[in-house]
Chains A and B, each alone.
Chain A
Amino acid sequence: QKEVEQDPGPLSVPEGAIVSLNCTYSNSAFQYFMWYRQYSRKGPELLMYTYSSGNKEDGRFTAQVDKSSKYISLFIRDSQPSDSATYLCATDTGGFKTIFGAGTRLFVKA
């Protein structure tokens, strides 16, 4: 079993839709939870970062962590074609080693 599971998609939605991206993880020692966004042929960049259970909002993006069920979510409101990218969930124990999910490819159609 992988430590972080993520459906690779692809996920295709119309412009303006609400997008829900999800991951599960197996190790309860994980403390930090991140979402990275990766455009085609580029390196990933950090999009959202959370430490505890609950929600964190940044503009159209909301990251949600449920430690009791080991579930990580990213919601994108009013999705735009420029949101088309691969979204990678990630987690670590604070010890220099980040573990990534497989990444979900998202396509937002105009």
Chain B
Amino acid sequence: DGGITQSPKYLFRKEGQNVTLSCEQNLNHDAMYWYRQDPGQGLRLIYYSQIVNDFQKGDIAEGYSVSREKKESFPLTVTSAQKNPTAFYLCATYRENTGELFFGEGSRLTVL
């Protein structure tokens, strides 16, 4: 089945710890995205990558880091510098000829 796999689905973290969220895709799409979703605020763009070994900051990149070493993978690290990391994180790919975003099932991060 083609799609996007995010893991873990649920994650608990103590304050001061870094955590990495995994995103893997087999849709063969070049562009990948990380969004953060908070209640009543829609989706806010954290980072995006249009091609391997290249990525750009989105609107709320502070406290986050990414890498894009392979086309299939775009992991997101939530660092201890992120002041309010508790949120629902969504990874997506972009199909260029239609402009459609395909989303994973999300990872819910809770900081204790």
Please give the residue numbers on chain A whose beta carbons come within 8 Å of chain B beta carbons, in ascending order: 4, 6, 8, 32, 34, 36, 41-46, 49, 88, 90, 92, 94, 96-98, 100-103
Please give the residue numbers on chain B whose beta carbons come within 8 Å of chain A beta carbons, in ascending order.
4, 31, 40-43, 45, 48, 50, 90, 92, 94, 98-101, 103-106, 108
The docked-state distance in angstroms from the alpha carbon of A41 to that of B99 is 24
Inter-subunit contact B103/A43 (CB<8 Å): yes
B106 touches A102 (CB 8 A): no
B42 pairs with A100, CB closer than 8 A: yes
- Contact yes or no, A97 B45, CB < 8 A: yes
With most chain B CB atoms within 10 A of its CB, the pick from A6, A32, A43 is: A43
Interface of A: prevailing SS: strand
Chain B residues with CB under 8 Å of A97's CB are: 45, 48
Determine the chain A residues whose CB is within 8 A of the CB of B41 once the complex forms.
102
8 further A-B contacts with Cβ under 8 Å, apart from A6-B42, A102-B40, A103-B43, are A43-B90, A43-B106, A44-B103, A92-B99, A96-B31, A97-B45, A100-B43, A103-B40
**CA of A44 to CA of B102 in the docked complex: distance in angstroms?**
8
- 9 A-B pairs closest in CB distance: A43-B103, A102-B42, A100-B43, A100-B42, A8-B40, A32-B99, A46-B100, A103-B42, A44-B103
